[in-house]
Every structure is written in structure tokens, then in C-alpha cells.
Amino acid sequence: MRIFEKSTKLNNICYDIRGPVMDEANRMVAEGMDIIKLNIGNPAPFGFHAPDEVIKDMSLNLRSTEGYSDSRGLFSARKAIMQYCQLKHIPNVSIDDIYTGNGVSELITMSMQGLLNPGDEILVPAPDYPLWTGAVTLAGGTPVHYLCDEQADWYPDIADMKSKITPNTKGIVVINPNNPTGALYPKELLLEIVQLARENELILFADEIYDRLVMDGKEHIALASLAPDLFTVSFNGLSKSHRVAGYRIGWMCLCGNKSYVKSYIEGLNLLSSMRLCSNVPAQSIVQTSLGGTQSADELLLPGGRLYEQREYIYNRLKNIPGVSVVKPSAAFYIFPRLNPDKFHITNDEQFALDLLHETKILITCGTGFNWIAPDHFRIVYLPDMETLKTATDRIERFLSTYHQ
Ligand code: PLP
């Protein structure tokens, strides 16, 4: 009998968020066990619901959005995105430079597929949101990881980034605010990245899906706003800020100088048409979401759920012996470090499995984010305070005796 196997292109993709730890958690749930899930950035199941007006407007538009839209998206959605770009000082974005997608995920894949040939390299952060590494690989390119430095608030290490640029490098991916570290990058640092891209004629890929989830009065600066003379592809969407991850709506904007990327844009248009269009009912809520008062602001201020949960998880983790942690400024992730001298962890997937078996808590290990050593893990602090308390109590107890 002929045996059909998966494409060899998939062999080198490390996508541990969906790996054996997740499989084991699913098996345990199927057996009736109660697992505390601190592993996935999906706000709605944790009681972070979409604003009522967003739901209402989508229902009102269901009839008129039955058909395909323009392959890039509805005019009204793209106009609202264009105006959002104007507010964020993102230069030179017209209606035709905006592509809606079934989440940012689809567009990340599209942006890499439209560009890369075998041998091409893309600089991707370590730790990263692992879809980026996977998308580069799937498109036939080579992801090259630059380090983000925990000692420097998890900011990208510019010297490391510079040292990894080769004649084959095509672009730099910047995830800001960052998943999994929750870091928000300052203007001076972004300017340094832009300068590197300028000197080496690289495309910038700015994943800014958490730009509306920033705390402590800090301000997110769009990378493209600092690089009007360069070509930047900016990504954003409503999954997180408007808690509608299930509706699948994101967008990609081609910004700045497009004079040297005409053929790449042709490729993107082709790929966009090949998938006909993105989910049209979800496009119908973009205008509502980006205008008016439909934001997550109150969740991010003192007294707001995201703010208070960030404070709680940070203060608890930093007081656990052997654990150190940088306070996140944005999104809803925290990426603590486990002291190798104390825990001797050589396999962090095994650590995640041990934690799961002993405490019934599901986290994602650091190497799942292409981190370089088995000494970190990520917590999503979306579950309510009571659950976070139970979870941190259990983690603290588990770590008081654990070593590999
Ligand atoms: N980019 C980053 C940094 C993310 O963390 C995520 C999801 O967690 C995405 C992109 C994809 O989001 P979506 O496809 O829901 O728009």
C-alpha cells in the first residue's frame, strides 16, 4: 500500500505550542482531569469578552457580508485601517496597500511565501512567536535567530542582530510588543534596528498585534513610523485588543518606500487573490473596533483586570526561590527564568510535562519559542485572579523540590 507522509518542508519546523505537552494535556482532560491552562493567548474563554458594540455590528452585517469581498478586503475596513496607520504616523499607506487576513497568522505566512527562495535568510527574534520561524521555513527560507537580552529588559541585542546579517539576509522581524516576553521597545532601540535595515537594504516586518495592550502609561511606537525611506510590512489585528481571536481578523500594511519591492508586491497580490478573500463578517467589525471607545484601555489601568493580574503574577513569581523574571509592560505574557544551578533542567519539555503531571498546570516551555536554553517558560496570565493564585501556589510548591 502507498504510504503518504507529510511534506518534508514541515520536518524542520519546531512548533512546540502544539507538541507532546499539549497532547498529554488533552489526554488528561479526556480522562476527566481539570487542567489549569496558562498556555494560550486566547482572551475570550477567560472572560475577556468582545465589546457589545462589536458583536452587535457583526450581527447587523451578517446578511450583507455573505459574499466574497475584494481579495484585500472591504473598503470600509481598509479605510479604518488606513486611518489607524495615519494616527500611528505610519507613512505612505493607501487603501491598496492594506490586506485583511484570517488573523495575522495567515498574513505572516503569505508575507514569507511571497518573498523567499531557498537560501534566503530572515532574522527572527529569540525568543519568538514561533509562527514566524515556521513561516520562514515553510516558505523555503532559513530563519536566523537574533537574541533578545533578558538583562536589558528583553530588548533585541543590536550587536547580535548585526553579527547575523549576511548577503543572504532579506529582512528583520520585530515583534513589538513582544510575545513571549511582554517587552515594549523604546524609540532609540527601534531607530537602531531601522538603521541596520537601512545600511543593509533589508525589509522590516513589524508584528504589532499587541500595540493596543500597553501598560504603565507607556506608548507604543510603530516601527514603520521611523522608517519612511524603507519598506516595512506592518501586521496588526483584533484577536487580542478586541478579544475576538475566533473571528479571525488581522491585517498587513505595506508602508514607506515601495520603489524597490514592486515584484514582491505583485507576488503578495497573487497570493491574496489565491485565497479569494478573508472572512468578510469579521472585516465588518474593523471600523467599529478601531474607532470610538471600543478599546481595552480600562483593562490596562490600575484596577483593570489585565493590570492587576500582571502585578499579581509578577510579584508571586519573583519571590519564588530560583525564579527570576522581568516585569512585562504589554500583552498578557510573562517569561520567567529557572536558575540552571538550582533546577539543573536539561530538557524543558520534560519540565513542562513534569509540571503538568504533578500540578495539572499547562505552560509552554521556552524552547517552544526558539529560546536558546532550557531555562525559561511562558505563562499566559489571562485566567482570573483566583485561578492565578491556585496556579502560582502549585508552581511554588512544585519548584521547592524539583530538579532534573
Ligand atoms: N503575532 C503574535 C506576536 C502573536 O502572539 C499572535 C497570536 O498569539 C499572532 C501574531 C497571531 O494572531 P492572529 O492570527 O489571531 O491574528
Segments making up each domain of the chain, as ranges: 3-48+298-399, 52-290
Distance of CA 274 to CAs 70, 109, 114, 255, 284, Å?
12, 13, 12, 23, 21
Cα of 170 vs centre of ligand 1, distance in Å, is 22
Kindly state the DSSP code that residue 376 receives in the 8-state scheme. Answer: B
Is the pLDDT at 65 greater than 90? The verdict is yes
Q: Which of 17, 209, 212, 380 to mutate to test the pocket of ligand 1 (most atoms within 8 A of CB)?
A: 209
Q: Which of 129, 185, 335 to mutate to test the pocket of ligand 1 (most atoms within 8 A of CB)?
A: 129
Q: What per-residue confidence (pLDDT) applies to 14? A: 64
Q: Which of 179, 241, 253 to mutate to test the pocket of ligand 1 (most atoms within 8 A of CB)?
A: 179
Is the pLDDT at 18 greater than 80? The verdict is no
* Average of per-residue pLDDT values in the chain: 96
Q: Which three cell numbers stand for residue 316?
A: 508571586
Is the pLDDT at 17 greater than 70? The verdict is no
Q: Is 329 in the pocket of ligand 1 (CB under 6 A)?
A: no
The runs of H, that is alpha helices, within 219-304 are 262-274, 280-283, 286-290, 297-300
Q: What per-residue confidence (pLDDT) applies to 15? A: 60
| pLDDT 10s digits, 260-288 | 999 999 999 999 999 999 999 999 999 99
Cα of 157 vs centre of ligand 1, distance in Å, is 23
Cα of 70 vs centre of ligand 1, distance in Å, is 23
Asked if the 3-48+298-399 domain carries CATH number 2.40.37.10, the reply is no
Cα of 404 vs centre of ligand 1, distance in Å, is 33
Cα of 331 vs centre of ligand 1, distance in Å, is 11
**What's the N-to-C CA distance of the chain in angstroms?**
44
Q: Is 179 in the pocket of ligand 1 (CB under 6 A)?
A: yes
What percent of the chain clears pLDDT 70, i.e. is strictly above it? 99
CA dihedral 35, 237, 272, 7 (to 10 degrees): -20
Cα of 248 vs centre of ligand 1, distance in Å, is 10
- Which DSSP string do the residues of 333-366 spell out, in sequence order? EE--EE-HHHH--S-HHHHHHHHHHHH-EE-EEG
Q: Among the atoms of ligand 1, which is closest to the Cα of residue 210?
A: 3
| pLDDT 10s digits, 363-375 | 999 999 999 999 9
Mean pLDDT calculated for residue range 334-360: 97
Q: Among the atoms of ligand 1, which is closest to the Cα of residue 248?
A: 15
141 CB-near residues (< 8 Å, 6+ apart): 112, 115, 116, 117, 118, 119, 120, 121, 122, 170
Cα of 181 vs centre of ligand 1, distance in Å, is 14
Q: Among the atoms of ligand 1, which is closest to the Cα of residue 106?
A: 14
Q: Which of 18, 48, 109, 131 to mutate to test the pocket of ligand 1 (most atoms within 8 A of CB)?
A: 131
pTM of the model: 0.96
| pLDDT 10s digits, 176-217 | 999 999 999 999 999 999 999 999 999 999 999 999 999 999
Q: Among the atoms of ligand 1, which is closest to the Cα of residue 237?
A: 16
| pLDDT 10s digits, 42-64 | 999 999 999 999 999 999 999 99
Instruction: Give domain 52-290's CATH number out of 3.40.640.10, 3.40.50.300, 3.40.720.10, 3.30.460.20.
Output: 3.40.640.10
d(CA 338, CA 335): 10
Mean pLDDT calculated for residue range 226-245: 97
| pLDDT 10s digits, 134-181 | 999 999 999 999 999 999 999 999 999 999 999 999 999 999 999 999
Cα of 209 vs centre of ligand 1, distance in Å, is 7
Q: Is 129 in the pocket of ligand 1 (CB under 6 A)?
A: yes
**Same fold across 3-48+298-399 and 52-290:** no
Q: Is 104 in the pocket of ligand 1 (CB under 6 A)?
A: yes
Cα of 104 vs centre of ligand 1, distance in Å, is 6
Q: Among the atoms of ligand 1, which is closest to the Cα of residue 240?
A: 15
H/E segment holding residue 107? helix 103-113
- Which DSSP string do the residues of 378-402 spell out, in sequence order? EEE--S-HHHHHHHHHHHHHHHTT-
Q: Which three cell numbers stand for residue 258?
A: 515601495
Burial per residue of 25-47, b for 16 or more beta-carbon CB atoms within 10 angstroms, e otherwise = beebeeeeeebbbbbebbbbebe
Q: Scanning the structure block, which residue is given the C-alpha cell 525568543?
A: 127
Q: What per-residue confidence (pLDDT) applies to 16? A: 57
Q: Is 103 in the pocket of ligand 1 (CB under 6 A)?
A: yes
Cα of 2 vs centre of ligand 1, distance in Å, is 37
Cα of 342 vs centre of ligand 1, distance in Å, is 34
d(CA 11, CA 7): 7
Q: Which three cell numbers stand for residue 259?
A: 520603489
H/E segment holding residue 24? helix 20-30
Other CB atoms within 10 Å distance of the CB of residue 165: 18
Q: Is 225 in the pocket of ligand 1 (CB under 6 A)?
A: no
Question: Which among 55, 50, 77, 53 has a CA at the least distance from the CA of 280?
Answer: 77
Other CB atoms within 10 Å distance of the CB of residue 147: 18
